[in-house]
Amino acid sequence: MAQASSDYRKYLNPSIISRLNSLELRARLVVEGFMVGLHKSPYHGFSVEFTEHRPYMQGDSLKDIDWKAYGKTEKFYIKQYEEETNLRSYILLDTSRSMQFASEGNITKLEYAATLVASLSYLMVKQQDAVGLTLYAEKINKYFPPKTSKTYLQELLKQLNEISPSEKTNTASCLNAIAEKIKRRGLVIIVSDFFDDINSILSALKHFRYRNNEVIVFQILDPLERSFDFGRDAIFKDLETADEITTQPYQIQKAYREAMEQFIYKIKSECLNSNIDYNIIETSTSFDKALFGYIQKRSRLF
């Protein structure tokens, strides 16, 4: 049993998950691995069925024991209640060319983001919440309103599996358009590298808050985009404009890092000031960090 519980983390490893062709399979393995891990974490209140638990005490009815939890932990837990609130979630995924970047040994930002979105969608449908999906770049390419059915989830996963980045970014315009589409208060999740005009993006994020939506931001970055640790002459090519520049990275590394950290700090601080939940995730990071962020945010909504 101990061996089984320690193996779950392999299903959260981006490099391992990326070898699977099916996003539906990826999502299932990530979520199941994540939920198994919760039994050994401070977040033990969430079970594989999103039921709140407490330890079994003498006098408790045997019919309230969660036998699935016992099978995984060999400990008795009592089901207290099941979350039945139907949340409407809108997931917005940036599919622009900049999301196609990957440094050696890592998967692309888009592949990481798509797997994260698939996992979040799987989680939501599993807990009977409605989930919708928007794919955007220079314009909104796909929009699916929130629904709760498993067949609908399969359609969303199919769309994620067929993503092909081919456009520049116009994040603010797309976010503002979606904000106008949302007529009922819900949870908005934006997954992007946010490589665009930052002031326009921040204004668009606040648009969602102005309309009383809860907002979670996942900024997906490759580790090399923060470290700029190239160490030799290099030709840099803009993935969206195809512009090229030749430089010696070590000469500009300090200035680059400072500019990048200022960029990140501005997004983070403005999100904090607007009560937007900001999360920065590198593509080398296991998916449980992002999934914890979602569950913690959701728990504060009710």
What is the per-residue pLDDT for 21? 83
pLDDT of residue 11: 75
| Both structure tokens of 101 | 């970047």
Phi and psi torsions of 259, nearest 5°: -65, -40
Planar angle of CA 137, 100, 272, nearest 5 degrees: 65
Give whichever of 39-43, 132-136, 286-290 has the largest mean pLDDT: 132-136
Q: Indicate the range of 68-77, 126-135, 153-162 predicted with least confidence.
A: 68-77
Region of poorest pLDDT, from 9-23, 202-216, 224-238: 224-238
- The whole-angstrom separation of Cα 224 and Cα 167 is 22
Q: Are 11 and 17 in contact (CB under 8 A)?
A: yes
Among 296, 300, 298, smallest CA distance to 130 is for 298
Helix (H) or strand (E) holding 191: strand 187-192
Report in angstroms the alpha-carbon separations of 37 from 165, 290, 297: 33, 14, 19
CA dist 148 and 130 (Å) reads: 4
The position carrying tokens 């030799």 is 232
Strand partners, 136: 94, 140
What confidence score (pLDDT) does residue 2 get? 38
The mean predicted confidence, pLDDT, of the chain is 82
CATH topology of domain 88-299: Rossmann fold (3.40.50)
Averaged over 107-119, what is the pLDDT?
Answer: 96
In sequence order, the β-bridge partners of residue 130 are 88
Report whether pLDDT(138) > 70: yes
> What's the number of CA atoms in the CB half-sphere (13 Å) around residue 276?
31
pLDDT above 80 (res 222): yes
Instruction: Give the span between the Cα atoms of 264 and 258, in whole angstroms.
Output: 10
Mean pLDDT of 231-238: 60
State the pLDDT at residue 108.
Answer: 95
pLDDT tens per residue across span 267-285:
999 999 999 999 999 999 9
> Which DSSP symbol is given to 65?
B
| In the chain, domain spans | 2-82, 88-299
pLDDT at 42 over 50: no
Residue 82 pLDDT: 41
Q: Tell me: the pLDDT tens digits for 156-196?
A: 999 999 998 877 889 999 999 999 999 888 999 999 999 99
Question: Among all chains, which residue has been given the structure tokens 């009922």?
Answer: 184
pLDDT tier, 12 (very low <50, low <70, confident <90, very high otherwise) = confident
pLDDT of amino acid 251: 63
Query: What's the rounded Cα separation, in Å, for the pair 83 and 298?
Result: 11
Q: What is the DSSP letter of 56?
A: -
pLDDT above 60 for 41: no
pLDDT value at 234 more than 70 = no
Judge whether 274 and 209 are in contact, CB under 8 Å: yes
Q: Kindly tell me if the per-residue pLDDT of 253 is higher than 80.
A: no
Backbone region of residue 59 per phi and psi (left: phi > 0; alpha: psi in -120 to 50; beta: other values)? left
Q: Helix or strand or coil: residue 100? A: helix
Give the residue with greater pLDDT, 252 vs 249: 252
What are the pLDDT digits (tens) for 85-96?
478 999 999 999
Model confidence at 19, pLDDT cuts 50, 70, 90, reads confident
For the chain, what percent of residues have pLDDT higher than 90? 48
| Mean pLDDT, residues 228-236 | 63
- Enter the tokens of residue 262: 């200022």
pTM, two decimals, is 0.78
Confidence grade of residue 51 (pLDDT, cut at 50, 70, 90) = very low
Task: Give the whole-angstrom CA distance, residue 169 versus residue 266.
Answer: 19
Tell me, what's the pLDDT at 207?
A: 96
